[in-house]
């Protein structure tokens, strides 16, 4: 029902995520380049992030309220440090990604708190389990590539952000500190 209402209103395609710092984007893009991928569409390094919660189409009139609710979310008291140490392929979705071997409990609590904060707006928590990842390529249709050097990246996040997705580019609309 909410999706039907949203289709009639001007909206933005939004999601909450942890941004990837510029130097880390560059390092990950360089490492990805060394994989010699022959399939898939590489995600532009400027778009590297770790999605926390995808909202989809949010009516323009509701964005301020969403931001207010996000600002009240109880966040971890410390900087999040997420190991991106596993290269994986999601065959059904056609995604090549970097992911943590184990998601930090503080990250899982943040995602849950965001899900709860968005319930009053009709954004229901996904039925699928949250799987933190950084997408390296889309439309990827091959086995996991061999890497000469293991994936050993650490996403260090001091804030989370509300992003807008528009024509394949991502833009931060607002950010909130984690501590």
The residue among 7, 17, 3 whose CA lies nearest residue 171 is 17
**121 burial type by CB count under 10 A (0-12 exposed, 13-18 middle, 19+ buried):** middle
Residue 141's alpha-carbon distances to 40, 84, 110, in angstroms, are: 7, 21, 32
Which residues are catalytically annotated? 49, 133
Q: Give the total residue count for the chain.
A: 179
The residue among 52, 53, 150 whose CA lies nearest residue 103 is 52
Give CA angle at 131 (173, 148), nearest 5°. Answer: 100
Q: Measure the CA dihedral 24/132/107/67, to 10°.
A: 90
């Amino acid at each position: 029902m909410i999706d039907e209402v949203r289709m009639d209103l001007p909206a933005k395609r939004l999601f909450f995520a942890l941004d990837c710092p510029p130097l880390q984007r560059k390092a990950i893009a360089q490492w990805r380049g060394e994989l010699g991928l022959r399939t898939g569409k590489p995600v532009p390094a400027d778009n590297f992030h770790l999605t926390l919660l995808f909202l989809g189409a949010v009516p323009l009139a509701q964005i301020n309220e969403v931001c207010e609710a996000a600002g009240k979310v109880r966040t971890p008291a410390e900087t999040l440090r997420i190991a991106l140490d596993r290269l994986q392929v999601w065959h059904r979705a056609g995604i090549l990604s970097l992911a943590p071997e184990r998601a930090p409990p503080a990250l899982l609590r943040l995602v849950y708190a965001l899900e709860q904060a968005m319930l009053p707006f009709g954004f229901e928590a996904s039925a699928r389990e949250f799987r933190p990842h950084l997408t390296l390529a889309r439309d990827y249709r091959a086995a996991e590539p061999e890497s000469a050097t293991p994936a050993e990246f650490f996403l260090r996040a001091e804030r989370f952000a509300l992003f807008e997705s528009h024509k394949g580019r991502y833009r931060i609309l607002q950010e909130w500190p984690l501590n």
